Chains A and B, each alone.
Chain A
Amino acid sequence: MDTTGSNGTAPTAADAGGTEAKRGVLQRLYTGTGAFDIVGKRKYWYVILGALMLVSALFVGIKGFNLSIEFEGGTNISMPAQGASGQITTTEVENSFQEVLGSEPSSVQLVGSGGSQTVQINTEKLSQAELVKVKSALFEDLRPLGTNGQPSADAISDSAVSGTWGSEITQQALIALAVFLVLVTVFLAFYFERWMAVGALVALLHDVLVTAGIYSMVGFQVSPSTVIGLLTILGFSLYDTVVVFDKVKENTSGLLSTTRRTYPEAANLAVNQSLMRSINTSVIALLPVLGLLVVGAGLLGVGVLRDLALVQGVGMLAGVLSSLLLATPLLVDLKMRESKYRAHAEKVAQRRRNRDGEGSTTVNGAGTDADSVESARPARDGTGGAKLAGAGAANAGAGAARPSGKAGRRSSGRKRR
């Protein structure tokens, strides 16, 4: 992740333990002391993710997708690549196809590996009679081995798809998508609040677009399974966002009645506290997907498993990025358009200025709190302002044996119910 990016600015004198100099980032991640100024650097994320979305949109618009047979219509015949007389070659298949129908198949490929290797033949749509002829010819000529290691005509699979099917499924999927978005918006609006719903939806949009873009860029094949997979990513992406926002909500309840933190800081604290969870979740969610990919793409080389795994993998990565780097920063920006939050931030700043004047920085880890007030403001303590109070991040610059950050942690308002 980009945490290393912020690491540059993160204080390494850091953590209370004092032993963390080497393991700074990991340790801070693990203990959730975060101190990554994510909200403060939101301009960067906007630019980066915005660019990503733009590039994706361009690719989708210009290059389009590599669509599977379901969108084109046609017939696919597949059989094990092991025949009675050893490995079946594509040439053999082409010849035998040619003999029967007098035409070439559009493509013949060997996919997968080892015992699961299959021959995939794609052609124009064949009539039932043609199909039967081809299948029996393939069996006669090549004798593919069935499950029991004996040549078997039943080892040959086929699927014929009309040219409209793919678009039909896609249309249905898009309807489902629209309904889902509406429901989710309602849900979020009730559960959280207006701006959170907006932030979550933008993050969602990002995920869909970037996933589509990556598919277009790399040229992965898009099948109806892919479209389905894309829809389920939305669930996952939102799920991630919901967890982060839950934390934000908790950290910012009653915020206006204190001058402890500005909204951006509280939100950033929430992101930091959810950071490890997000990473963990994503890793854990990705591991099974990885298993699917290894098997689906590596062993089988074709089919539903591969399609689903691929799209889930790509989408989850995009989802994690957006829920951490996009949803919350966006929420903050939206919130800060409200005058009361701006006024509040000003109050907090005012108070800190007063206090800085006194020079006492012992209370409440304020020193750390202040760092991320507004990214626009240069950091006051010269350590790069990336420290985020909450988690008891080091009270940088203090070098004190008794870093005061701890207290800051406790003041995060988490006590509220």
Chain B
Amino acid sequence: MAPPRGQIRPARYLLAFVVILLGIYSLVFFTGDRKPVPELGIDLQGGTRVTLTARTPSGEPPTDESLQQAREIIEQRVNGLGVSGSEVTIDGTNLVITVPGKDGEQAKRLGQTAELNLRKVSQVVPVSALQGNQPGQGNQPGQGDQSGQGDQSGQGADSSGSEEQQSSGTTPQWAAAPAQQPSDQQRPDGQSQSGGGDQQNGDQQDSESQTRAERIQQAKQLRQSEEPAMQRQALLTLDCDAPDPLRGNADPKLPLVTCGDDGQRKYILEPVLIPGTQISDATSSPPGQRKAEWTVNLEFKNQGTKTWADFTSQNVGEQVAFVLDNQVVSAPSINSAIVGGNTSIEGSFNQETANNLANTLKYGALPLAFDQSTAETVSPTLGVASLQAALLAGGIGLILVAVYCLFYYRLLGLLTILSLVLSGAVVYGVLVLFGRWIGFTLDLPGMAGFIIAIGITADSFIVFFERLKDEIREGRTFRSAVPRSWARARRTILSADAVSFLAAGVLYLLAVGQVKGFAFTLGMSTVLDLIVVFLVTHPLVALASRSKFLSRPGLTGLGAVQRMGERARAQRKGVNRQQSASNGTPKEA
């Protein structure tokens, strides 16, 4: 700052601000999806939110690792619902499932089903072999006319009935569909399909759940059929990368055609032999004297032990599959009859994979037990009403603040309003970007946070203006008061905002539930408030103070204090007894 002591060059600051603003909005309009809309939480657009609270037997908080694991498993299940925009996030020791739109009722069951079953393997085929379409792998090329069923999601190619012989390429390609469906793959509804070719639905179909039910029905018909021909058909058309409509809906009494969890193999499985609930414990043990590799040890409950003993004695050499959430997680061969219930599974395990499998077997699906703490479905009606209400509240708040500022500060009030508007513009842009970059969704508490933050933002201006009045009252001119009062106000603004930010930060990091959104927006507003005060408000006031016209008392509302200031000056000139050392006689020009 080259200008005389304490003077600034307002234009520079304003220019910096304009650059920032332009930067933000060019990011908004030229990157990502280019839509200038923030992500809305389900309470503003309708949807389902479920909070699952982890419970450990010991009452200790769960480890991050197990939470993370559980999150991934539940996320897979949620993706199985096929609703775009769904997500599972960790919040403290909770998992929060959010499913936008109207198809989320299912989500209320996801945290609870622990679906592990043992089924005998009747056939296993590597996916690659099927893609090569080599005969003898259990797929029978030929007549299989599956019209109306073979819709592979994501490919968009309607392969129904195509199943021609020319092998490769025309048979469905299993790797084509990304499992985490992006939302651009929505297809018109009504195309129910089967074979796991689960369509990615957006949220616009009306009879969404209808088609879901149909999809499940069709998948059942095809993949749970007892006829070998149909099973082979299913084996062919099954898409291992698509969400599985049968997840959680498979009938245990029927055979099942399904994929391995690595997506590399397909299985034809017999009906459920032992449900996962019969597993009492599973542990992993490190390589020892008898075992050169990591192993997984399994124990069954009474009923299970008996069934297991009978089964293993009759099926030595056969494979048995542990089916988790409809996917085969492990399919070891039976080496010998196991009668005591204590089973060890050997394979090429390392520590991690052994632990994972043991956890999977022990907890059914999830490494933790979860209680459903909250489960809410917000209707789109209510969502829209809430959004409107929040906007209305914000609007009312802003107008009230504007009127008050104008009334009280006149010209300065006008600057306040301008600053607030600009602050709003910055906040909105950042909000959109955060929605894109870190998945921040604006929910109702978040909006409340913004509304509350209006006060904090406006407060910075007030601190500054009140200081200005102090200086003027002391006898300074408006013009010379600006730099001095700014120097003082700046400190106060910084420290007060620091406290405010601290509060928001602590809340954001420590509290759970809806408070996160509130704390986030509050903290964000605080930071952005500083930018606006430094780059806009202060320079503008400085500009106004240099303008003859703008600094007329009538405009600034500083008449009263200016008169006092004049008197103070007059006095100093007059009876000038030695003033105290601390007296700041202004060095005005």
How far in angstroms is the closest Cβ of chain A from B308? Answer: 33
Say whether, besides A172-B92, A288-B452, A228 and B511 are in contact (CB < 8 Å).
yes
Say whether, besides A277-B463, A300-B385, A411-B580, A231 and B511 are in contact (CB < 8 Å).
yes
Residues of B within 8 A of A157 (CB): 376-379, 381-382
Contact A287 B582 (CB under 8 A): no
Contact A172 B381 (CB under 8 A): no
Among B108, B382, B469, chain A packs the most CB atoms within 10 A around the CB of: B382
Complex CA gap A189/B503 in Å reads 16
Complex CA gap A183/B488 in Å reads 25
Does A116 make an interface contact (CB < 8 A)? Answer: yes
Query: Which positions 499-521 of chain B face chain A at CB distance < 8 Å?
Result: 499-500, 502-504, 506-507, 509-515, 518-519
Contact B575 A80 (CB under 8 A): no
Option from A179, A288, A291, A409 in Cβ contact (under 8 Å) with B506: A179
Contact A273 B580 (CB under 8 A): no
Say whether, besides A172-B512, A180-B503, A295-B392, A413 and B582 are in contact (CB < 8 Å).
yes
Contact B499 A187 (CB under 8 A): yes
Contact B389 A260 (CB under 8 A): no
Contact B579 A411 (CB under 8 A): yes
Does B293 make an interface contact (CB < 8 A)? Answer: no
Residues of B within 8 A of A312 (CB): 452
Total contacts A to B, CB within 8 angstroms? 322
Residues of B within 8 A of A304 (CB): 43, 444-445, 448, 514
Contact A362 B522 (CB under 8 A): no
Does A132 make an interface contact (CB < 8 A)? Answer: yes
Contact B448 A308 (CB under 8 A): yes
- Interface stretch, picked from A39-47, A87-95, A232-240, A340-348, is A232-240
Does B451 make an interface contact (CB < 8 A)? Answer: yes
How far in angstroms is the closest Cβ of chain A from B379? Answer: 4
Complex CA gap A225/B498 in Å reads 24
Complex CA gap A303/B514 in Å reads 12
Option from B401, B408, B515, B581 in Cβ contact (under 8 Å) with A228: B515
Chain A's interface size range is: 35 or more
Residues of A within 8 A of B444 (CB): 303-305
Contact A410 B375 (CB under 8 A): no
How far in angstroms is the closest Cβ of chain B from A416? Answer: 6
Contact B469 A242 (CB under 8 A): no
How far in angstroms is the closest Cβ of chain A from B84? Answer: 18
Does A220 make an interface contact (CB < 8 A)? Answer: no
How far in angstroms is the closest Cβ of chain A from B120? Answer: 32
Contact A160 B568 (CB under 8 A): no
How far in angstroms is the closest Cβ of chain B from A58? Answer: 28
Among A147, A152, A285, A312, chain B packs the most CB atoms within 10 A around the CB of: A285
Residues of B within 8 A of A412 (CB): 582
Complex CA gap A284/B404 in Å reads 8
Option from A176, A287, A364 in Cβ contact (under 8 Å) with B401: A287
Among A128, A132, A176, A242, chain B packs the most CB atoms within 10 A around the CB of: A176
Complex CA gap A257/B362 in Å reads 75
Does B553 make an interface contact (CB < 8 A)? Answer: no
Query: Which positions 60-91 of chain A face chain B at CB distance < 8 Å?
Result: 70, 78-80
How far in angstroms is the closest Cβ of chain B from A4? Answer: 20
Closest to B510 in A: A176
Query: Which positions 531-589 of chain B face chain A at CB distance < 8 Å?
Result: 560-561, 563-564, 567-568, 571-572, 575, 577, 579-585
Complex CA gap A183/B498 in Å reads 11
Contact A165 B397 (CB under 8 A): no
Residues of B within 8 A of A410 (CB): 474-475, 568, 572, 579, 583-585
Contact B397 A242 (CB under 8 A): no
Contact B506 A183 (CB under 8 A): yes
How far in angstroms is the closest Cβ of chain A from B370? Answer: 11
Residues of B within 8 A of A236 (CB): 455-456, 500
Residues of B within 8 A of A187 (CB): 498-499, 502
Say whether, besides A31-B560, A308-B445, A392-B564, A284 and B455 are in contact (CB < 8 Å).
yes
Question: Which 3 pairs show the lowest CB-CB distances between chains A and B?
Answer: A285-B455, A288-B397, A235-B503
Further 13 A-B residue pairs, CB within 8 A, beyond A284-B462, A305-B389: A157-B378, A168-B512, A172-B92, A184-B502, A232-B452, A243-B496, A250-B488, A274-B466, A276-B466, A283-B404, A392-B564, A410-B474, A410-B579
Q: Which residues of A contact B (CB under 8 A)?
A: 16-17, 27, 30-33, 70, 78-80, 116, 118, 128, 132, 145-147, 152, 154-162, 164-165, 168-169, 172-173, 175-176, 179-180, 183-184, 187, 191, 224-225, 228, 231-232, 234-236, 238-239, 242-243, 246-247, 250, 254, 258, 260, 273-274, 276-277, 280-281, 283-292, 294-296, 299-300, 303-305, 308-309, 312, 362-364, 391-392, 402, 404, 406-407, 409-416
